[in-house]
Structure 1
Amino acid sequence: MKLKLMRVRENAVLPKQATAGSAGYDLCACIEEPQTIAPGARAVFPSGLAAEIPAGTAGFIFTRSGLGIKKGIHVTNGVGVIDSDYRGEIHVGLHNLSVEPYTVQPGERIAQMIIMPYFAPEIVEVASLSDTERGAGGFGSTGK
């Protein structure tokens, strides 16, 4: 399987895995100048890249653990999804959940992209669902 990437901005950094066992490919901020995200604020950063993601898979954008745990900087929508038929520039939304401003530097690794398969079952409307031991028990129904 191949992931085709195209630079759409001159200073785009091709993503790479930090180690041979890394699941994610680090995405970098393709910006000209440092950009500060105030506490509680959100900002969107271009990656400078467009992708041809293989059919049957999608690109999932996750928070980098170091930024999330140490700095409180998270991917805005929890997990971003890049569909295999999208050919535009990949952007990353970041949310500063800390009480300190955070400055993103040009070329800084800001998120990680993992290519994973997904399932798209046919939707079938039914009048009832099969019974299970849990049934319709929701939050906390199996314990704390």
Structure 2
Amino acid sequence: MRSRGFEIVSAFENQGVKLPERQTKNAAGYDFFAREDFVLKSIWRYDFIRLFRLIKNEHPLTEQDFTRATKILKPLLVPTGVKAYMQPNEVLILANRSSNPLKRGLVIPNGIGVIDADYYNNTSNEGEIFIQMLNFSPRDVVIEQGERIGQGIFMPYLLADGDTGNENVRTAGFGSTGK
């Protein structure tokens, strides 16, 4: 019986996708690799500077300014081409590589990513794992196919006393469990 591990999403088989791997004997994290070349745009591009000046000079922002900011200031999803299977009482925690912020200006904006066991083989994307990234450096960053972009750690989790569970079943992929 398989306990936990990684598989290539069927749509990307034979396309050079690399399965996550640990880099040293005592490494806790499995390094994830980019599925394809990917340009991570700098947040300083577009109208961000204009918005920053408006805020700094205490000018009121218009609804159009807020709409522009929402389109610009958001993370991008870097595809891995990989899915993870695990036991029902386990989670895969996605974390940034320690060198990404310092050397490249790349962060995972929510701190960590959480991949639940029922994300595996979901109907919308077969459970492909994407790593949310934000580029705060002044230049766009080109991530090349096969480049390490993040790491994942399998962990067990505990339930609170009195938790009876929720009978909802995942019906889609990324961000599908609602508000």
Band the TM-score falls in, shorter-chain normalisation: 0.7 to 0.9
In structure 2, distance between residues paired with 1:59 and 1:30: 19
Structure number having the greater strand percentage? 1
Q: Percent identity?
A: 32
Displacement of 1:62: 0.3
Given that 2:38 and 2:78 are in contact with CA atoms closer than 8 Å, whether structure 1 keeps it comes out as no
Displacement of 1:123: 5.6
Q: TM-score, normalised by structure 1?
A: 0.76
Q: What secondary structure does 1:21 align onto? A: coil
Given that 2:18 and 2:33 are in contact with CA atoms closer than 8 Å, whether structure 1 keeps it comes out as yes
Given that 1:36 and 1:101 are in contact with CA atoms closer than 8 Å, whether structure 2 keeps it comes out as yes
1:4 paired with 2:5, answer yes
- Which moved further from structure 2: 58-67 or 95-104? 95-104
Partner of 2:156: 117
Q: After superposition, what is the alpha-carbon deviation per residue over 1:79-137, rounded to whole angstroms, capped at 9, x for unaligned?
A: 0000012111111111112222211111111000011122221468xxxxxxxxxxxxx
Q: Across the two proteins, how many residue pairs are aligned to each other?
A: 122
Structure 2 counterparts to residues 50-69 of structure 1, below 5 A:
50-69=83-102
Structure 1: stretches of 5+ with no match in the other structure: 125-144
Q: After superposition, what is the alpha-carbon deviation per residue over 1:24-72, rounded to whole angstroms, capped at 9, x for unaligned?
A: 00001101xx322122263212111111122322000001011122111
Partner of 1:74: 107
Structure number having the greater helix percentage? 2
Q: Which runs of 4+ in 1 moved over 3 A?
A: none
Structure 2: stretches of 5+ with no match in the other structure: 44-72, 121-126, 164-179
In structure 1, distance between residues paired with 2:151 and 2:38: 19
